[in-house]
Amino acid sequence: MYLVTMLGNLLIILAVTSDPHLHTPMYFFLSNLSLADIGFISTTVPKMIVNIQTHSRVISYEGCLTQMAIFILFGCMDDMLLTVMAYDRFVAICHPLHYQVNMNPRLCCIFILLSFFVSLLDSQVHNFLALTLTCFKDVEISTFFCDPSLPLKLACSETFNNNLVMYFAVAISGFFPFLVIFFSYYKIVSSILRVPSSGGKHKAFSTCGSHLSVVCLSYGTCLGAYLSSTVSQSPRNDAVASVMYTVVMPMLNPFIYSLRNRDMKRAIWRFLSQTI
């Protein structure tokens, strides 16, 4: 699954960069999303493979904080990029005549940099909270990666204020992007329903299908992982939910975008034929 994820996302990045027809804001954001997915899955799976081979779940204090920081960085980047892509679809469908002006290359680069710095800030807030509460040499991982809640569970002092700050950071990096995506699709659906022809409605909906599928998959698996850890105390259920969120989701994203997108399929086949 790790190799399939790496290959699929690398193919998307290479196809977008090599095909001039895909040098548009939507595919620019898609290639950055694939890059974030590569970093996201590479943070957890290699360590899991080492744990399986060595039959050990122990991770050092520095390794735990490093893995946690990178995991949150790329996870938050996923959310931010999905939000930016929702805004891109909103401008393309609701304001098509102003699309080239509004989604210019400079603004697209600003969106990417802003997404990165917000994600970096979120990861450092979680790391700072863990540093102020915990200090240990080694810890045993309950699933297969150092979950952000793990260091807080080992805290020896009161964690109420720290939990409050952590929930606020999660709201900024998770709930706020969800609201932006929801509002964008509310305006998109309202605009599409005013299109008189059924063919025009289908064409407009088809441009959003892949992105909406990835959004539902991302938030669905994330919510499932959270509810599983909250409702059930079974380590097996927690592990299954974590695998769905951290391994299955990044693996499915390239398939969703490539199989549902005719331009992407053409670009991938063109790239493979030129390479082979």
CATH of the domain at 87: 1.20.1070.10
For residue 120, the model assigns a pLDDT of 92
pLDDT of residue 107 exceeding 90, the answer is yes
- What percent of the chain has pLDDT above 70? 80
Burial letters for 51-74: b for 16+ Cβ neighbours within 10 Å, e otherwise?
beeeeeeebebeebbebbbbbbbb
For residue 165, the model assigns a pLDDT of 67
Identify the weakest region by mean pLDDT among 136-140, 210-214, 269-273. Answer: 136-140
- Residues with Cβ within 8 Å of 71's Cβ and at least 6 positions away in sequence, in order, are 40, 43, 44, 123, 145, 146, 148, 246
102 pLDDT band (50/70/90 cuts)? confident
Residues 85 and 116: their CA atoms lie apart, in Å, by 15
For residue 256, the model assigns a pLDDT of 84
How many structural domains compose the chain? 1
Q: Which domain does 220 fall in, by range?
A: 2-275
Residues 26-44: what's their mean pLDDT? 91
160 pLDDT band (50/70/90 cuts)? low
Q: How far apart are the first and last CA of the chain?
A: 24
Residues 220 and 227: their CA atoms lie apart, in Å, by 10
Residues 212 and 93: their CA atoms lie apart, in Å, by 14
For residue 88, the model assigns a pLDDT of 92
pLDDT of residue 229 exceeding 60, the answer is no
Pick from 8-12, 190-194, 241-245 the range whose average pLDDT is largest.
8-12
5 pLDDT band (50/70/90 cuts)? very high
**What's the mean pLDDT when you consider all of the chain?**
81
Residues 5 and 40: their CA atoms lie apart, in Å, by 11
- Give pTM, 2 decimals: 0.86
pLDDT of residue 53 exceeding 70, the answer is yes
pLDDT of residue 198 exceeding 90, the answer is no
